[in-house]
Structure 1
Amino acid sequence: MDKIDVALLKLLQEDGRMTVSELSKRLALSRPSISERLLRLQERGIILGFNARVSPAAIGRGVQLIIQLSELKVSPQEFEHKIAEDEDILECHRVTGTVSFVIKAAVTGMDDLSRLVERLLPYGNVNTSVILSSPILNRTVLPKP
C-alpha cells in the first residue's frame, strides 16, 4: 500500500458514501485510477465492504452491553453456531485468557437483557456490563507507518 491507498482508506472510513468522482477530486487522480485502487483493496481483503452505521438507540435498542462468557460448557464452535442467529448480539469475539468470549449486544430494555442472559447461561458463566458511553467509536484504522 502506498500513501494514496492510505489516504483513500482514510477518506472512505470518514465517509463511506463518498463517490468515486469526489475521491478522484480529493486525491487528484482519475476516476478509473480510483476505481482500480478500490478494486485492488477489496481483492486484497483490506476493504471488507461498505455499510451504514446505525444507532441502536435510535431504533429502540437503547441498552447496549458487553458480555463476558467464561467457563464454556460446550465447544467454542457449538457456541458460535448457537448464537449466530441471535439478533440481540452485535459482535462476538473469541478471546484469550480466563474469558472465552466477549460479546457486544443491544437490547430494548432490562426485560430483553434478562432474556438474553437466560439464553446464554446454558453455555457458561455470564458477566454483563451495561455500556454507559462510548468515547471512542468506529475509529479510523490505517496501517502503521
Structure 2
Amino acid sequence: MDKIDIEMLRLLQEDSRMTVSQLSKQLALSRPSVTERMHRLQEKGIIEEFTARVSPAAIGRATIIFIQLSELKITPQEFEKRIKEEKDIIECHRVTGQTSYFIKAAVSKIEGLGMLVDRLIPFGNINTSIVLASPIPYRHLLPEQE
C-alpha cells in the first residue's frame, strides 16, 4: 500500500458513501485508477465491506453491555454456532486467559440485560459490565507508516 491507498482508506472511513468521482478529485487520480485501487484493496481483504454505522440508542438499544464468559460448559464451536443466533449481541471475541469470550451487546432496557444473561448462563460463568460512557466509541484504522 502506498500513500494514495492510505489516503483512500482514510477518506472512505470518514464517508463510505463517497463516490468514485469524489474520491478521484480528492486523490487527484482518474476515476479508473480510483476504481482499480478500490477493487485491489477489496480483493486483498483490506476493505472488508461498505456499511452504515447505526446508533444503538437511536433504535432503542441504549444500554451497551460487555460480558465476559468463562469456564465454558460446551465446545467453543458449539457455543459460537449458538451465539450467532443472539440478536442482542453485536460483537463476540474468543480470547486467551481466564475469560473465554468477550461479548458486546446492546439491549433496550435493564430487563433486556437480565433476559440475555439468563440465556447465556447455561454456557458458563458470566460477568457483566454496563457501559457508562464511550470516550472512543469507534476508531478508524490506517496502516502504520514507516
Common topology (TM > 0.5): yes
SS in structure 2 opposite 1:133? coil
Residue 25 (structure 1) aligned with residue 25 (structure 2): yes
Residue 142 (structure 1) aligned with residue 134 (structure 2): no
Letter in 2 for 1:139: R
The aligned length equals: 145
Residue 91 (structure 1) aligned with residue 91 (structure 2): yes
C-alpha deviations, 1:91-123, integer Å up to 9, x for none? 000001100000000001011110000000000
Question: Distance in 1 between the 2:63 and 2:34 partners?
Answer: 40
Long gaps (5+) in structure 1: none
Per the alignment, residue 106 of structure 2 pairs with 106
Letter in 2 for 1:143: P
- Counterparts of 1:112-131 in structure 2 under 5 Å? 112-131=112-131
C-alpha deviations, 1:51-94, integer Å up to 9, x for none? 00000010000111100001111111110011101100000000
Question: Distance in 2 between the 1:7 and 1:96 partners?
Answer: 34
Per the alignment, residue 60 of structure 1 pairs with 60
SS in structure 2 opposite 1:25? helix
Deviation at 1:140, TM superposition (A): 1.2
Q: Tell me the TM-score normalised to structure 2 length.
A: 0.98
Letter in 2 for 1:98: Q
| Cα RMSD (Å) | 0.6
Per the alignment, residue 77 of structure 2 pairs with 77
What percentage of aligned pairs have identical amino acids? 64
Q: Tell me the TM-score normalised to structure 1 length.
A: 0.98
SS in structure 1 opposite 2:13? helix
